[in-house]
Amino acid sequence: MSFSNSELENFAVKHGVTLDTVAPPNSEERHKALKQLLQNNDVPFPISQEKAGPYLDNSHKPFGIGTLSEEKIDLGEYQNHQDYDSLTFEEHLSWACLIKDQKETKERYACKEYLQGEDSFPIKGTTIPDYHFLNARLYQQTGWQLATVSTIIPSSLFFHCHRHRFFPVTTMMRSLGTDYLEEPDIGHDLAGHIATFTIPQVAQVMNNHGVAHEWISEQMRKELISAKTQEESERVTSEAEQLLLYAGRIYWFTVEFGLVMQENEMVAFGAGILSSPGETPYSIESPKATRILIDPTSDRDLLRLAATDYLIDEYQKTYFVMKDFESLSSITPERILSVIEEAKHIPHLGWRDIVEGDNVINSGAEAMTPGEKFQKLSQGRPIDEASKRVALRNLELAESQPDEAFALSPSGKLLLESILH
């Protein structure tokens, strides 16, 4: 979609951006900046001259996948490149407007670690960052690198990247005037996620999810090899997909849409929240949203995340508030596997559900107990598709796994009793 000069000027004025400042650096300027960056050894992860030389030589080519560590990643058909010189003025302006809109909301609602992390990267300017430069800076500060993708990638590949400390980033920038997107774009990937890598507990949770997903996938491959029938193969695949779904929910409610208590205040660290200037204040202040305080060291609370469905096409209706960052360190690969295994055996919750034992900070306008939701369903009253999906899954569970077959830990039994109550 193309815009007239007057429309571009109107967009800029609306967001407090001056068009003259949207001036992307040319290739010579980018090369000079990168050369200077690569010479900086006073960083947590210095780049050796052996790596820096070829990296600088290739900086005139489109950026694909980081090459600054010994780790390798194969994106297959999803691999893409950032051709910086092909980015349009409209894309740079959209970035500038987003950054300007985010500035006030982040300064007010983001956790202090996130704000400090942002200052380490060239992501607050009026032009889209050059991936060659950003990748080098990200590696120097955190040991992570970028892997450029063409579209949403399968979760197995996404977490495989995490396992090797690569973060998939797209080259698509949201159109001018767009706040919320169903799929990631440059605004989400860079202006949302990059700073979170400087929060050690969050970066480690991301890597731990990669390890857990690898273990699940490896176990599935072993069982598929020994499967005797097509039916058995389908069962193995289905069970693995369920486990990956439950693990993905833990990731969603922490890394993407997590809130945390800090100095007796609720602040945001989730990239999905902070990349949206609209959802950032909504997540913390709106009376429409439910907010539940959780302790990630509690198996019951971690299981609550794994058993809860979420929304992808609008603002979240329920947010989980971590008691502190230190507790995130307890989300190890082993605990992820243990908790999601239990999640197979209990009824699941929808995005609107509140159950006994929840430490509710705010009960949103659409919150209800599972009993209230079931009553609406049994009376044939309208209910959203997400709630129907959870209800049908629970009916299937009741038919396939009677109560006496449950082999739950005390934490699992506690959450099960809360849901059934």
**Domain contains 180:** yes
Mean pLDDT of the chain: 89
pLDDT of residue 311: 80
265-285 pLDDT, tens digit each? 999 999 999 999 999 999 999
**Domain contains 252:** yes
Look at the chain and report how many structural domains it folds into: 2
Based on the domain organization, do 129 and 264 belong to the same domain? no
**Domain contains 2:** no
pLDDT of residue 349: 86
Q: What are the start-end ranges of the H helices in 164-229?
A: 186-188, 200-226
More confident residue, 68 or 313: 68
Predicted confidence band of residue 406 (pLDDT cuts 50, 70, 90): very low
Arithmetic mean of pLDDT, 69-75 = 94
247-270 pLDDT, tens digit each? 999 999 999 999 999 999 999 999
Among 316, 250, 105, 88, residue whose Cα is nearest residue 192? 105
Show the domain range for 120: 9-198
143-173 pLDDT, tens digit each? 999 999 999 999 999 999 999 999 999 999 9
195-211 pLDDT, tens digit each? 999 999 999 999 999 99
- End of a domain among 173, 198, 223? 198
Based on the domain organization, do 223 and 354 belong to the same domain? yes
Based on the domain organization, do 279 and 398 belong to the same domain? yes
Based on the domain organization, do 106 and 120 belong to the same domain? yes
Please check the confidence at residue 394 and state whether its pLDDT lies above 90. no
Indicate the pTM of the whole model: 0.89
**Domain contains 4:** no
More confident residue, 352 or 141: 141
**Domain contains 87:** yes
What's the token pair of residue 203? 């970066």
- End of a domain among 198, 215, 244? 198
What's the token pair of residue 210? 């990669």
CATH number at residue 343: 1.10.800
% of the chain exceeding 70 in pLDDT: 87
User: Over the range 405-416, which residues count as b (16 or more CB within 10 Å of their CB) and which as e?
Assistant: eeeeeebbebbb
d(CA 123, CA 268): 18
310 CB-contact burial (10 Å; exposed 0-12 / middle 13-18 / buried 19+) = middle
More confident residue, 140 or 356: 140
Based on the domain organization, do 191 and 222 belong to the same domain? no
Strand, helix or coil at 237?
Answer: helix
Based on the domain organization, do 170 and 308 belong to the same domain? no
Please check the confidence at residue 112 and state whether its pLDDT lies above 50. yes
Q: What is the side-by-side strand order in the sheet with 259-262?
A: 265-268, 259-262, 318-322, 290-294, 359-362
Among 379, 377, 321, residue whose Cα is nearest residue 350? 377
What's the token pair of residue 328? 């995130």
Please check the confidence at residue 49 and state whether its pLDDT lies above 80. yes
What's the token pair of residue 401? 């796994």
Q: What is the 3-state secondary structure (H, E, C) of 114-135?
A: HHHHHCCCCCCCCCCCCHHHHH
pLDDT of residue 182: 67
**Domain contains 231:** yes
CATH number at residue 65: 1.10.800.10
- End of a domain among 148, 164, 198? 198
318-367 pLDDT, tens digit each? 999 999 999 999 999 999 999 999 998 888 888 888 888 999 999 988 77
Predicted confidence band of residue 404 (pLDDT cuts 50, 70, 90): very low
**Domain contains 3:** no
Question: Which residues does residue 166 pair with via DSSP β-bridges, in sequence order?
Answer: 145
Based on the domain organization, do 410 and 263 belong to the same domain? yes
What's the token pair of residue 205? 């949770």
**Domain contains 219:** yes
